[in-house]
Amino acid sequence: MSAVSAQVLDAAIEWQLCLDSGSVSAEQQHAFAAWLAAHPEHTRVWQQLNGLDIRLASAAAAPARQALLHSARSRGLRRIGGTALGLLLSSALALGLLAQQRPLGDYLADEHTGRGEQRELLLSDHSLVHLNSASAVDIQFSDSQRAVRLHSGEILVQTAHGDSRPFVVLTEHGSLRALGTRFLVRREGSSTRLTVLQSAVAAHPAEGSSERIIHSGEQVLMQRQRLGSVLPAPLSAAAWSHGMLVADNLRLEDLLDALGEYRSGYLGLDPSLADLRISGSFPLHDSDKALSALPPSLPVKIERFGNWWTKVVPAAQ
């Protein structure tokens, strides 16, 4: 085994012991998923170790199996975080991975949801704001306006009547002023997507000179300098607020990206399958059930290693 592979095996054994401990934190889950996805050798060594793990489980009780893993780790393999410096670097790595999963500022927002969590807020003016998975907002009401600042994720807004103050949703890309309406706002990288479900919304880019009215059944991407083309809104755009994902001839890669927003751990896809198309309704809060519905419809199979690593691969593989 090469020196690099020895280091990878060392890390894999550490992760095996950590995951078997029965007290795995969310940060550790995210860190493990990131490690597994970082390099193909990590996946190969993890598969080999799990093969060993299966053989150990059939031949030894759990304490003996743990002792064997500890013994393998001790035979010249470098322990992770074995010194004060190692602990410091491990802490920095955990914070970095957490920041990659969610901006640290999200945790300082007035309201935020975790991965796979949704929440409905009743505001002081009786408007409703439904937060999707991994979303963060600040509520900024004043005498002159009712503002909701969306930092990340997606919200469904249903504005209340009888309040003369304008209701606006703010993002770094601009402002969206409700015109007695129900609408979705989603952060998408360098843009904000507005989808109007009822009535209309006035969209104004942060560095734009004018606003545009987006009507019911329409959607638009807003960047800081401009608005994109107005397109028809998907009929099922708000299905997530009912715990469902409705796919209509959707690329498999896009489906898995959407499901991945509602689960912890690594969810991967063989690149050769990315452009397969699928239609149907999938439960967002039981993504394992959603994934199990794929093989009957598509030439794929689901590979799992533990509870935190899942990949969709060709059925013949």
Let me know: does 170 contact 148? Beta carbons within 8 Å.
yes
Q: How many CB atoms lie within 10 A of CB 225?
A: 11
The pLDDT of residue 76: 42
- Residue 112 CA to residue 137 CA, distance in Å, equals 6
> What's the whole-model pTM score?
0.67
The pLDDT of residue 28: 81
Confirm or reject CATH 3.55.50.30 for domain 243-314, answering yes or no: yes
**Dihedral Cα 157, 161, 165, 168, nearest 10 deg:** 10
Domain locations along the chain: 3-101, 110-232, 243-314
- In a structure prediction context, what are the per-residue pLDDT tens digits for the chain, which is 317 residues long? 333 445 666 676 677 667 766 677 888 888 888 888 888 778 776 665 554 433 333 333 444 344 444 444 444 444 434 444 445 444 444 444 444 456 677 888 999 999 889 999 999 999 999 999 999 999 999 999 999 999 999 999 999 988 999 999 999 999 999 998 899 999 998 999 999 999 999 999 999 888 999 999 999 999 999 999 999 998 788 999 988 888 888 999 999 999 999 988 889 999 999 999 998 888 998 889 999 999 988 999 999 987 789 999 999 86
Confirm or reject CATH 2.60.120.1440 for domain 110-232, answering yes or no: yes
The pLDDT of residue 20: 62
φ, ψ of residue 162 in degrees (nearest 5): 90, 10
The pLDDT of residue 50: 55
Q: Which two tokens stand for residue 251?
A: 């690329």
Q: Which two tokens stand for residue 184?
A: 């979705």
